């Protein structure tokens, strides 16, 4: 079984990123052949600073390693180092419907935030994302709940390609966290915690100091009443805290509710969740510092990963080119 997932090297990684993406990477790396990518090409679809992007790649890789990803057990690489991603993107354009891309929720959200240029890259972003996965013929894609629409699109693209050109690609299956799939902003619990759209006070960053994490949770917005129950419709603030607690403690939401059956109120809940999250993230923050200082070692990890990734991607592309009649006839082995 082959597992693939990618994460953008932009912005400071927050608790939602960790629970929705980084932690599943760790959990899946021993279940099959894990391939994890820092998707720097995706980051170019919106305004960015080149130096910040390069630095962000190192920040992200150091965080991934600090979280527990092991280059000896998984392939960790930079997207732009494997050119087969972009080649397959272009070829997949022929089996991707314009209307499908128009319906993508993330394009609507991100394009509405652009004041000047809405790039064509932002519109075709999901095709590159599909190529990221399909070029490795991955079976499983561990992602956050917000990526479900993108997984459905890449499955459709793979099936449409296979129907037209033969059984070349693998239609992957998404794997979503059972608990903590959507960590919400602590100040606006109806909105997902994000790098760009959330408030600073409502966003818990992976590298935040423990005292700051506890402080942010103590000031979290809750709901009317005193009942500590999970009810997304009527108690979004409390529900977010219970889901977060369950995710970091490795328990179910009913178990989280039971843990606070004797709490005196929301103050006890917020303090306990803050302390649990601070303890949960502390080891990552401590390991990150030493890893981030050695950029040469980080680059070595990326270079080695790219070589291993390229072998798999090149084999897929040979099959794709042959099936599509692109390039010279493939020489039999």
Q: Give pLDDT tens digits for 258-293.
A: 999 888 889 999 999 999 999 999 999 999 999 999
Q: How many CB atoms lie within 10 A of CB 296?
A: 8
**Domain 2-175+295-324 is found in CATH 1.20.120.160:** no
Mean of pLDDT over the chain: 91
Q: Give pLDDT tens digits for 149-159.
A: 999 999 999 99
Confidence of residue 26 (pLDDT cuts 50, 70, 90): confident
Q: Give pLDDT tens digits for 111-142.
A: 667 767 888 888 899 999 999 999 999 999 98
Q: What distances in angstroms separate CA 38 from CA 81, 189, 290, one per listed residue?
A: 10, 28, 20
Please answer whether residues 230 and 242 qualify as being in contact, where contact means their C-beta atoms are separated by less than 8 angstroms: yes
- What are the residue ranges of CATH 1.10.240.10 in the chain? 210-289
Kindly report the CATH class assigned to 210-289.
mainly alpha
Residue 4 three-state SS: strand
- What are the residue ranges of CATH 3.40.50.620 in the chain? 2-175+295-324
């Amino acid at each position: 079984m082959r597992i693939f997932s990618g994460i953008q090297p932009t912005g400071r990684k927050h608790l939602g990123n960790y629970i929705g993406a980084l932690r599943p990477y760790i959990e899946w790396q021993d279940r099959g052949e894990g391939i994890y990518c820092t998707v720097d090409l995706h980051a170019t679809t919106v305004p960015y600073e080149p130096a910040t992007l390069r630095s962000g790649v190192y920040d992200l890789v150091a965080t991934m390693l600090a979280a527990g990803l092991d280059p000896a057990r998984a392939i960790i690489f930079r997207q732009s180092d494997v050119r087969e991603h972009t080649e397959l993107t272009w070829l997949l354009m022929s089996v991707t419907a314009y209307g499908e891309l128009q319906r993508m929720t993330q394009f609507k959200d991100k394009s509405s935030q652009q004041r000047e240029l809405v790039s064509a890259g932002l519109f075709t972003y999901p095709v590159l994302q599909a190529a990221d996965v399909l070029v490795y013929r991955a079976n499983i894609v561990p992602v956050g709940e917000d990526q479900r629409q993108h997984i459905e699109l890449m499955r459709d693209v793979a099936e449409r390609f296979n129907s037209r050109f033969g059984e070349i690609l693998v239609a992957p299956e998404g794997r979503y966290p059972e608990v903590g799939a959507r960590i919400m902003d602590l100040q606006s619990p109806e909105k997902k915690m994000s790098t760009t759209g959330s408030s600073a006070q409502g966003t818990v960053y992976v590298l935040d100091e423990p005292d700051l994490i506890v402080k942010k949770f103590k000031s979290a917005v809750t709901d009317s009443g005193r009942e500590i129950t999970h009810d997304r419709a009527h108690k979004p603030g409390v529900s977010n805290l219970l889901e977060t607690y369950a995710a970091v403690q490795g328990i179910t939401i009913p178990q989280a509710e039971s843990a606070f059956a004797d709490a005196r109120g929301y103050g006890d809940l917020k303090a306990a969740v803050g302390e649990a999250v601070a303890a949960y993230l502390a080891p990552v923050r401590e390991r990150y510092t030493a890893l981030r200082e050695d950029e040469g070692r980080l680059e070595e990890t990326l270079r080695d990963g790219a070589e291993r990734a390229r072998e798999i991607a090149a084999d897929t592309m040979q099959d794709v080119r042959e099936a599509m009649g692109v390039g010279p006839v493939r020489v039999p082995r």
